[in-house]
Amino acid sequence: MNLRYMRIQGREESRITKYPKGIFSLCWNLIRDGVMTPEEEKTFRDIDAWFKEHLPEPEPCKKHEKVITFFKTDTAREMLEMIAPAVRILDAHSRPYDIVFTNAVGTVVYEDEWQVAVKTENGKMV
Expressed as residue numbers, the domain containing 82 is 5-125
pLDDT tens for each residue of 83-123: 999 999 999 999 999 999 999 998 999 999 899 999 998 88
Compute the half-sphere exposure of residue 21: CA atoms within 13 Å on the CB side of its CA: 17
- pTM to 2 decimal places: 0.91
Q: Is 114 helix (H, G, I), strand (E, B) or coil?
A: coil
Which residues, including other chains, have CB under 8 Å from residue 53's CB and lie 6 or more apart?
none
pLDDT tens for each residue of 19-44: 999 999 999 999 999 999 999 999 99
Counted domains in the chain:
1
The CA-based diameter of the chain, rounded to the nearest angstrom, is 41
The pLDDT, as a whole number, for residue 73 is: 93
Could you tell me if 18 and 122 are in contact, meaning their C-beta atoms sit under 8 angstroms apart? yes
